[in-house]
Amino acid sequence: MTQFGETLRQLREAQGLGLRETAAIVGISPAYLSRIERGKEHPPKPEIIKALAKVLAADPDVLFRLCPSTDPDVVTLLKEKPKVLELVRLVMTKELSDEQLNKVERFIKRDILGETSSDTILAVSE
């Protein structure tokens, strides 16, 4: 939890934004943002995480990975496409290595999506 807050503080300071200014833009109280940054509060709701990411010019996926909150777009996808959840569970139960996961990703990009970037071609030929 502190890693999330520490990262927020670093991003905010890198943008030259004050605590009060950031909180006002996002629509939360400065005290709440301060507690989040100090690890005294759980990470906020996904909507607030997305708003913070936008204000701090950060990738929201990075912030979501630092906290137990789940991106609502991912939740929606898993609800609308049960097969995706089955695939995730398959990956979890088989404990695939990073190399195996990279192969799966390359397969999807090349054979299913038809991507032929030079990175994909080089990676497949290795």
| pLDDT single digits (tens) 38-47 | 989 988 888 9
Q: What is the pLDDT at residue 120?
A: 44
Q: For residue 125, is pLDDT > 80?
A: no
- Angstrom CA distances, 49 to 46, 76, 111, 126, stand at 5, 17, 34, 39
Q: What pTM does this model have?
A: 0.59
Q: Taking CA 67 as the corner, what is the angle to CA 66 and CA 72, rounded to the nearest 5 degrees?
A: 110
Q: For residue 124, is pLDDT > 80?
A: no
At 70, the pLDDT band (50, 70, 90 cuts) reads low
- The domains located in the chain, with CATH, are 2-69 (1.10.260.40), 74-125 (no CATH)
Does residue 28 contact residue 51 with C-beta atoms inside 8 Å? Answer: no
Most confident of 17-26, 77-86, 93-102: 17-26
Q: How far apart are the first and last CA of the chain?
A: 39
